[in-house]
Amino acid sequence: MNYGYFDGENKEYVITKPNTPAPWANYLGSPEYGAIISNNAGGYSFVKSGANGRIIRYRFNAINMDQPGRYIYLRDNDNGDYWSGSWQPVGKPLDKYENQCHHGTAYTNIKSKYTNIKAETLYYVPLDKTYEVWRVKVTNEDTKVRNLSLYGYVEFSNENNYEQDSVNLQYTQYITKTYFRNNKIIQTINENVKQSVNGSTGKERFFGVAGAEVAAYEGDRDTFVGEYRNYSNPIAVESGKCQKVLNYNTNSCGALQIDITLNPGETKELAFVLGAHNDDASSKILASYEDLSQVEKELQELKDYWHGKLNNFQINTPDENFNHMINTWNSYQCFITFVWSRAASFQYCGLRNGYGFRDTVQDIQGIIHLAPELALEKIKFMISGQVDNGGGLPLVKFDHNPGHEMTPDDPAYTYDRYRADDALWLFPTILKYINETGNDDFLDEVIPFANKGEATVYEHLKRAINFSMERQGNNGMPAGLHADWNDCLRMGAKGESTFVAFQLYYAMAILKNIATDKKDDAYVAYLDEKLAELKETMQTKCWEGDQFIRGIREDGIVVGSKNDPEANLWLNPQSWAVISGCADKEQCEKALDKVYERLNTPYGAVLLDPPYKDHAFDGALMLLFNPSTKENGGIFSQSQGWIILAEALMGRGNKAFEYYRECSPAEMNDNAEVRKLEPYAHGQFIEAKESPFQGRAHVHWLTGTASTVMVGCVEGILGMRPTVDGLNISPSVPSDWKEFSIFKSFRGKKLNILVKNPDGKEGGVRELIVNGEKVEGSFLPVSMLKEENEIIATM
Ligand code: NOJ
């Protein structure tokens, strides 16, 4: 069953049935002011941090699900009937209540029609602003005059810190007050505190309205809702009268009642505005919306900004769903993970106050082809999260202070120990950035280390290699340390992971090219030797004839051997054998074939098989999860990006695309009741064969899947493989694609690429015609580029 459709032209997903199997979310705002909103207006807002800057509440994991939110209630004052602008929370019968939610790029527009009253609420955070706007339009489509009340409602948190607000009730209930001032509710927190006490100073929030007079209000949540009621039937709405009660030692809220009379055909428009600003500042903000045309201007600015970024890479292929994902939704999701990391969603409550090193360094890869300038800023920031010993800080805090951070070597450091993989992610990310932009001067830029000192980017990369070299296991591979990419894998301090070994191999190969360019001959020789040694180890100790093992524990026992009773084939070592360039062609083919045979399912390849149940070792923490779930043999969606890329690098376009389709949210649009999560956003994992709910996806939006699948599709399937000197065009596509086109911004120039596939190939390009000039092979030199270029690539 579907609950909506993709509107490619407007870059929107339109939800036509509001009773979606899970709240289907969208992200609004920027790191300064972020908001998450569902198709039923559920969700929450925060300033800078989901954990420490929470302004509005959301009850995670609760019944009623997806509450509270940014509610608009409507009441017919002639008969007492009431409903909400979003289907929930009132939840009118769907045969009488029409609803559409348009999730767009950083805005959401929820439309309803009930008893001939149309309502439309546009939610957004204006570009570079630190508040949110809910513009409401109500239209009377009846033949008679309608007397209505409209209520804007928000449940404030009583305290910025989410955990404190949720659990420390003996404190948080007694620190806030609300006031009504003209057209707004002001909420104060610790209002007596003029200077910092225990690190806390007074705070203010506001919820106001522009374009309408407030008839009545409520600042006290329980007065608005009423005893033993809930958001589906708040007494203030049912009775038609807010009591003008302000909270004092209770829970706060902002509720503003506006009475309106509408003639037939008449529309009334107003805007609620919410943020963390004081009386003065919020008055000014509200005044700027007295002329409501401001809203349309700001909406256009948002679209210009986001569409501008997304339009840097657009495709037109025979597969509509692929187009929607690449042109809009996967790209937009990459920006969201890039900005918010794993900070705030309907699963992440906001408690992680920083960027996971590996997560963000990978997230960056998803936007390099769309916004290399933003990627650069974040790359520098993440490099400054590298410790001077070459390792990555497990978590780079939002308020990271380069040069002054503690490290896992400091006894007082509490977060975590070093992971084996963190700093190794820098290599592909920096390489992709340099290749996209040609900016190899970046390698000479000096960037501080997290703890002390500074060095060029080149030196940072060398230290990352050193970090692995100084922490070797018993067999010549890097030691597993706390874990590798797989959070659940404890190999022991001297245990070894083949995934990390392949990453190290790839990193050294990348750095060797850089060192060669820099004529750093001694270092090139060093890397040559290390590359050869590592390759030898991988060949002799890790290859089992048709698959690579997952690692060797400290006690010498192999993990992921084909002879193991459980977890005897792991996905990532096979895909990374290809990506790293460490395996030979025959090994790559055998390993990929084995993955396809043993690990593939209708929803993607499982991470390992069979899941652990009875034969796990002590460090196999995935045993904690149910079989076919998350790291215990679930379809870990991030890894799908790597298998797509691996197949594509081998020129096996049919398989690459098959893996893409299996895990693509859009492909599940018509089976949304199975997938549950949004059909326009990747989740962290999908339940696999041993689950009774095979195909159900979990942990929406904030996942490394966004960037790995993006890279798998753009670099792999679509074959956009820039180098410093130009662009390799090397698609690996389904053999029945006869033709497709790509628009790519590249080095400030426009590329219109038409790929022709007359012979039904699945990989490779034999000839290019660049602005009418024939070029043998697939490489487009940057020297041939004009401002706008017509390129025909023949497969
Ligand atoms: C989710 C974590 O955010 C990520 O860092 C990790 O690589 C995956 N889980 C796999 O364990």
DSSP string, 215-282: -EEEEEHHHHH-TT--TTS-HHHHHT-------BSS-EEEEEEEEEEE-TT-EEEEEEEEES--HHHH
Pocket lining: 486 vs ligand 1, CB cutoff 6 Å? yes
- Residue 765, pLDDT > 90, answer yes
Pocket lining: 619 vs ligand 1, CB cutoff 6 Å? no
- The single residue listed with the structure tokens 């997230």 is 363
Of 359, 382, 488, the one to substitute when testing ligand 1's pocket (max ligand atoms within 8 A of C-beta) is 359
Are residues 303 and 296 in contact, defined by beta-carbon separation less than 8 angstroms? no
Across the range 438-465, mean pLDDT stands at 98
User: How many A from CA of 618 to the centre of ligand 1?
Assistant: 19
Pocket lining: 485 vs ligand 1, CB cutoff 6 Å? yes
Across the range 601-621, mean pLDDT stands at 97
Phi, psi of 117 (to 5 degrees): -110, 120
- Closest residue by CA, ligand 1 atom 5: 359
pLDDT of residue 59: 96
pLDDT band per the 50, 70, 90 thresholds, residue 688? very high
User: How many A from CA of 486 to the centre of ligand 1?
Assistant: 6
pLDDT of residue 493: 84
User: How many A from CA of 441 to the centre of ligand 1?
Assistant: 32
CA gyration radius, the chain: 28
pLDDT band per the 50, 70, 90 thresholds, residue 202? low
pLDDT band per the 50, 70, 90 thresholds, residue 51? confident
Paired tokens of 154:
């928000």
pLDDT band per the 50, 70, 90 thresholds, residue 172? very high
Pocket lining: 358 vs ligand 1, CB cutoff 6 Å? yes
Per-residue pLDDT of 266-324, as tens digits, reads: 999 999 999 999 999 999 999 999 999 999 999 999 999 999 999 999 999 999 999 99
pLDDT band per the 50, 70, 90 thresholds, residue 151? very high
The proportion of the chain whose per-residue pLDDT surpasses 90, expressed as a percent, equals 95
Between 19 and 352, the more confident residue is 19
Across the range 515-539, mean pLDDT stands at 98
- Closest residue by CA, ligand 1 atom 3: 359
Give every CB contact of residue 527 below 8 A, 6+ residues apart in sequence.
Answer: 465, 508, 511, 512, 515
What DSSP line would sit under 660-677, residue for residue? HHHH-GGGGGGGHHHH-S
Per-residue pLDDT of 397-442, as tens digits, reads: 989 999 999 999 999 887 779 999 999 999 999 999 999 999 999 9
How many other CB atoms sit within 10 Å of the CB of residue 509? 16
pLDDT of residue 30: 82
- Closest residue by CA, ligand 1 atom 1: 487
Give every CB contact of residue 393 below 8 A, 6+ residues apart in sequence.
Answer: 357, 385, 386, 387, 405, 407, 408, 415, 422, 450
- Closest residue by CA, ligand 1 atom 7: 485
Pocket lining: 163 vs ligand 1, CB cutoff 6 Å? no
pLDDT of residue 321: 98
User: How many A from CA of 537 to the centre of ligand 1?
Assistant: 27
pLDDT band per the 50, 70, 90 thresholds, residue 200? low
Measured from the Cα of 684, ligand 1's closest atom is: 1
- Closest residue by CA, ligand 1 atom 10: 486
Asked if 487 is an active-site residue, the reply is yes
Distance CA 84, CA 78 (A): 17
Across the range 565-572, mean pLDDT stands at 98
CA distances from 548 to 67, 438, 541, 561, 565 (A): 47, 35, 9, 8, 16
Q: Cis peptide leading into 64, omega within 30 of 0? A: yes
Across the range 69-97, mean pLDDT stands at 98
Q: What burial letters (b/e) apply to 510-525, b meaning 16+ CB within 10 Å?
A: bbbebbeeeebeebbe
DSSP label at residue 610: S
- Residue 197, pLDDT > 70, answer no
- Closest residue by CA, ligand 1 atom 9: 487
Phi, psi of 779 (to 5 degrees): -100, 125
* Statement: the pTM of the whole predicted model exceeds 0.85: yes
Of 487, 500, 632, 637, the one to substitute when testing ligand 1's pocket (max ligand atoms within 8 A of C-beta) is 487
Are residues 76 and 261 in contact, defined by beta-carbon separation less than 8 angstroms? no
User: How many A from CA of 487 to the centre of ligand 1?
Assistant: 6
User: Which position among 487, 520, 546, 593 bears the catalytic label?
Assistant: 487
Which residue from 640, 645, 648, 659 is spatially nearest to 731, judged by alpha carbons? 648
Phi, psi of 365 (to 5 degrees): -60, -30
pLDDT of residue 415: 77
- The single residue listed with the structure tokens 């301090």 is 493
Pocket lining: 155 vs ligand 1, CB cutoff 6 Å? no
Pocket lining: 421 vs ligand 1, CB cutoff 6 Å? no
- Mean pLDDT, the chain, as a whole number? 97
Domains annotated for the chain, with CATH where assigned, are 4-307 (2.70.98.40), 312-715 (1.50.10.10), 720-794 (2.60.420.10)
Per-residue pLDDT of 486-516, as tens digits, reads: 999 999 889 999 999 999 999 999 999 999 9
Pocket lining: 405 vs ligand 1, CB cutoff 6 Å? no
- The single residue listed with the structure tokens 């996971």 is 356
Are residues 338 and 378 in contact, defined by beta-carbon separation less than 8 angstroms? yes
Of 337, 484, 485, 639, the one to substitute when testing ligand 1's pocket (max ligand atoms within 8 A of C-beta) is 485
pLDDT band per the 50, 70, 90 thresholds, residue 228? very high
